[in-house]
Structure 1
Amino acid sequence: MALTREVIAQYFYMPISQAAKKLNVGLIVFKKQCQELGIHRWPHRKLMSIQSLINNVQIMKRWKMVTVVIMMSKSS
């Protein structure tokens, strides 16, 4: 299987060493192929950070809604 940007992008959610292993490619060869395709930094950690921020915002929204409901029930 040829390593295209599209194929590699399917593995962005995992650490680079795991992605290379899943694709049956050595880590050094995999990194070199990524650089040749314009992927200079493996995005796994950035994606996990963004997902964590999204989860935190969703939790905060739920807590805000719960707080509003509690305040409304107290004022009734």
Structure 2
Amino acid sequence: MSPSWDTAKAAGPASAASYPSWTLTVALTEGSAIEFKAIKKDASGSVVWESGANRAYTVSADNPSVTFAFRN
């Protein structure tokens, strides 16, 4: 996690139309390289960061989406 990340500015919330799978669409330009982590917020707004290293992804025409499981 980057010390400058602000959970109040997080993308989301994700859609749970296929619960327990969640979906979030974020528009990014092809070639964009991003670093991210998933968070969970409970009803009171408390934040839980996923464990482990930050995730990295580069958007490409051949691979325009990323799928992952939350790391407890």
Give the structure-1-normalised TM-score. 0.19
Larger Rg over CA atoms: 1
Name whichever structure is richer in strand by fraction: 2
Name whichever structure is richer in helix by fraction: 1
